[in-house]
Structure 1
Amino acid sequence: MHRVSVRVDDTLYERLSRRAAGADLSFSDFIRSVLTQAADPRGRYIYSSQDEVLGTCIQILTILATSVGERTPEVLKRGMADASAILRERGLLGPEQDR
């Protein structure tokens, strides 16, 4: 395995560190994943971010939940309970987040 050393300024390092922490990865694992994406043999565009996709999904779901909640609060409550159950089954909802 080869070793790569790269110098970055403090601002970039902090941003990368926050992204790594947000992805629950060590800094090295995060950087390796970014480099792997950059060298993707299928030529995917690496500059589109999962954060952008997540942000768009959150916006869409917030609009939908607001609309449903205004019309039929009971349906929204049932949908939230169903979503919580699915997230819990997949290990994406911890006990501290259970309501």
Structure 2
Amino acid sequence: MARFSLRLDDALYDRLLIAADAADTTPSAYVRDLLERLDGADPFGFHAHINELHSTVIQMLAILATDVGRRDPESLAKGMEDTRRLLLERGLITPEDLPGAGGGTGA
């Protein structure tokens, strides 16, 4: 069986000991059981919360872009140009994703 070390602060270690004792098992067996149950799970809904946040931000930005586009189309065009540049620099889109390159849609 493989082994590894894990450092915990005292308070967390005490919680582990209490939980393992309540489950009538050793701390190692308790941690193994937790890891097996978590195997790919998202028990706290972290990814769902992030997706919800992303959706909200995208909706807000779409509303803002629509409003700016009506008031000042040149500002919207400049903002979209800056956005594409930043996304390219960060590797979040490729040049093929840009409008006019065959892969994107015009803004």
- Secondary structure of the 1:77 match is helix
Q: Structure 2: how far apart are the matches of 1:51 and 1:92?
A: 17
Cross-structure match for 2:54: 54
Letter in 2 for 1:93: I
- 2:36 aligned with 1:4: yes
Q: Structure 2: how far apart are the matches of 1:53 and 1:96?
A: 27
**Cα distance per residue 1:21-44 (max 9 Å; x no partner):** xxxxxxx7xx16x2xxx4xxxxxx
Letter in 2 for 1:60: M
**Cα distance per residue 1:10-67 (max 9 Å; x no partner):** xxxxxxxxxxxxxxxxxx7xx16x2xxx4xxxxxxx3351110000001110110000
- Secondary structure of the 1:84 match is helix
- How many angstroms does 1:98 deviate by? 1.5
CA-based RMSD: 2.5
Structure 1 portions without partners, runs of 5+: 7-27, 39-45
Larger radius of gyration, structure 1 or 2?
A: 2
The share of aligned pairs that are identical, in percent, is 38
Q: Normalization by structure 2: what TM-score?
A: 0.52
- How many angstroms does 1:95 deviate by? 2.1
Q: Structure 1: how far apart are the matches of 2:37 and 2:61?
A: 41
Cross-structure match for 1:81: 81
Q: Which runs of 4+ in 1 moved over 2 A?
A: 1-6
Q: Structure 1: how far apart are the matches of 2:95 and 2:37?
A: 41
Cross-structure match for 1:94: 94
Q: Normalization by structure 1: what TM-score?
A: 0.55
